[in-house]
Chains A and B, each alone.
Chain A
């Protein structure tokens, strides 16, 4: 599902990864956060104490609201680019 991209900018090579065990096809150069936004996955983590859904806030590496777990390591989804075969899980409360 890539209908949430602005047309006319030129398509980049596809990159496939998994998010919460589901396959996602992004484009090379996407951040994890933006690749998931394009597939309408807005919730990236659950907040530490309340477990409330949280997603991208600043989109520039400041707020740490978009923390996800990539192959076991916690990273910011907005500053980490997609990589083929990566396994991305919701961050926060397990």
Chain B
């Protein structure tokens, strides 16, 4: 019964964001059969999210200058002969094979080459009250505004760290939300470390100016060295407690003040979505800045596994420019493998330049260790299993400090998200110096929760 649920392609691409689309466009233009799988409902990924079919953004939602790349990419992608499968959750894989669930049905994509471009997700650092409805990740608010045209609320606070706070603030402003405060935990001086990467890169510089202008126009001041201490409310967020942090991110409780809000966006950087890569057996490395694990690729985006390539955030957080450049490069590396054509030097150089600029940014906004002191003993750290900080710390003390030990000691990370939310901070919360390498997550099938019958009906390899 599953025989008709098999797709064939030369290249299977996971992710229809900037990296995946850039790769797909090059490969389709070269005449290869390309299938792109994405869990979203339209191409674009998180950064170039499109509104649902039937709605159009004719200026109502402000867009930074870099988004014209996105429009160009999407236009080419829409006209290309790429097969896009939306709402597709990839749950199992091996080189040359990708199993996915779509609309509750079990599918297999057979493809000689795989390009991994699954992007990233927000890094969460728990604080009291972060489980209240109305407290979302920074990325979630952008999806709400730019992906669905929904107004998040009336009064918002955005807190966290890294370049992603600015697009979150501007998205809220576009939606008419009063942004009460925008809090960047890093100090202004630490952020200066990003400067070399920005100054040497015209696009990034103009982007930074654009955001600065948007904030200025709305009268929103970015508060450096501030963060959110907690949220309160009856059944949903109604108040936020904010205050200053010291240079290591440790809250200075004496500076706490309470503000009325009805929505909070928190994002402490991004975590590369490496689960599929790990499952395929690709080698990964720990980013020394503490920004998480990422896949290792060679100078032309090849992973350690034959015929598996990777591009964009999965190779290290870098943003859309890096993703597009690497997606482009990965496609040329695939073409080289298929046809023996040379990889253009300019494509390789461009990817390397963009990656260099991004790495400087990453170092400037690496997670501050002291932020892990925001959570209190009774703060839930694993939301799936309702595990509090005290319980997780007790588990680490008795069972051991490895990720595995904390998990079996209190069930943290064993729920449906499979530790994607709590995993990156669990060991730091239990006392490990966050700049030290955290344990790699153990990846288990299904990579995303799928129906039992999807597993049973999986078409044979």
Per-residue 0/1 for B162-180: is the Cβ within 8 Å of any A Cβ (1 yes, 0 no)?
0000000000001110000
B415 at the interface (CB under 8 A from A): yes
Report whether A64 and B235 are in contact in the complex, using a CB–CB cutoff of 8 Å.
no
| Chain B contact residues, majority secondary structure | loop
B356 at the interface (CB under 8 A from A): no
Per-residue 0/1 for B133-163: is the Cβ within 8 Å of any A Cβ (1 yes, 0 no)?
1111101110111011111100000000000
For the complex, what is the distance from the CA of A72 to the CA of B165, rounded to whole Å? 38
The 8 Å CB contact of B133, one of A43, A59, A67, is A43
A22 at the interface (CB under 8 A from B): no
A9 at the interface (CB under 8 A from B): yes
Which residues of chain B have C-beta atoms less than 8 A from A49's C-beta?
Answer: 385-386
The 8 Å CB contact of A9, one of B51, B121, B134, B380, is B51
Q: Which residues of A contact B (CB under 8 A)?
A: 4-13, 27-31, 34, 37-38, 42-44, 47-50, 52-65, 67, 73, 78-79, 81
> What would 14 more interface pairs be, CB under 8 Å, given A60-B46, A62-B121, A79-B40?
A6-B150, A8-B58, A37-B150, A37-B152, A42-B236, A55-B236, A57-B136, A57-B383, A64-B384, A64-B415, A65-B417, A73-B451, A78-B143, A79-B89
3 nearest interchain CB pairs? A29-B52, A55-B133, A59-B140
Can you name 28 A-B pairs with beta carbons within 8 Å?
A5-B150, A6-B145, A6-B174, A6-B175, A7-B60, A8-B60, A9-B57, A9-B60, A9-B61, A12-B54, A28-B54, A29-B148, A31-B41, A43-B236, A47-B386, A48-B386, A53-B133, A54-B133, A54-B383, A56-B140, A57-B140, A58-B421, A59-B141, A60-B139, A60-B140, A62-B121, A64-B416, A79-B39
Q: Which residues of B contact A (CB under 8 A)?
A: 39-41, 46, 51-61, 87, 89, 104, 121-122, 124, 131-137, 139-141, 143-145, 147-152, 174-176, 235-236, 380, 383-386, 415-417, 420-421, 448-449, 451
